[in-house]
Amino acid sequence: MNASPEHQRILLDIADLDRRIAQADRARTHPSQAARIGELVAIRQEQLRELTSLTGTRDDVRAELSRVESDVALVEQRRARDAQRLAEATNPKEAQALEHELASLARRQSDLEDAELDLMARVEEAEAAVAAQQALLDITTAEGTTLTAQGKADVAAAAELGVQLARDRAALSETVPAALLAEYTRRSANSAGAALLTRGTCGGCNIMLPGTDLNEIRRAPEDAVVSCPECGAILVRTEESGL
């Protein structure tokens, strides 16, 4: 195949646009934040499970404290009632029974109040644990929200850039003969499509060509479409080619 050197050089611009289009497409479909967002989703799920567990523990202790507080109130009511009855009692046996019950209630109230103090301390610890876990969850959620917003913005920007690059490529492709563009397209399926030959090195695969291959390229007409023997890309020759 033959094509003017000018048209061959345009292939380099098309190849660069194709590279940038591919980069934009990767940025659109695989934003840089995706991996970390995935990690945060897993972290947040684990933090939620832990928060649920801690909240359940706190609620259980609160319920137990409420029950003990209710028992204390009942004992206090019974003590007040028995004290009133004792003050009004005229029967010695009844008075003795009331005194015995009051002593028993006093011990019961003391035990309940000790349990109440212990449960209050446990509730405080449980609430602190829930608050600390919630703080961790809030930090994870905030990071995820920020990264998600950044990711959406980057995806939108990459999509917009891809559209612009595609327009530029379409305009540039119209300046290249159809046969040459088709040849470039065929080769680009397995290589850079077109690459600059610089000082005997292919810009597509970065491999220095053997002397025999370079001699063949030197002998080729200026408008001959030559290719890299390694990667198959069209080699565009310029004054930088070292020929």
pTM, 2 dp: 0.73
Whether 231 shows a pLDDT value over 90: the answer reads yes
Instruction: Inform me whether the pLDDT recorded for 242 exceeds 80.
Output: no
Whether residues 204 and 122 share a domain: the answer is: no
SS3 content of the chain, % helix, strand, coil (to 5): 75, 5, 20
pLDDT of residue 227: 94
CB atoms near residue 71 (< 10 Å): 16
pLDDT value for 177: 96
The pLDDT, as a whole number, for residue 163 is 97
pLDDT at 20 over 90: yes
Q: How far apart are the first and last CA of the chain?
A: 20
Domain shared by 22 and 51, yes or no: no
Q: Do residue 58 and residue 110 come from a single domain? A: yes
166 and 155 in a common domain? yes
Considering the chain, what is the average pLDDT of its residues? 95
Residue 165 is predicted with a pLDDT of 98
pLDDT tens by residue, 194-204 = 999 999 999 99
**212 plus 163 within the same structural domain:** no
- Say what the pLDDT of residue 162 is: 97
Domain range spanning residue 115? 29-173
For residue range 79-103, what is the model confidence (pLDDT) as tens digits?
999 899 988 888 888 889 888 999 9
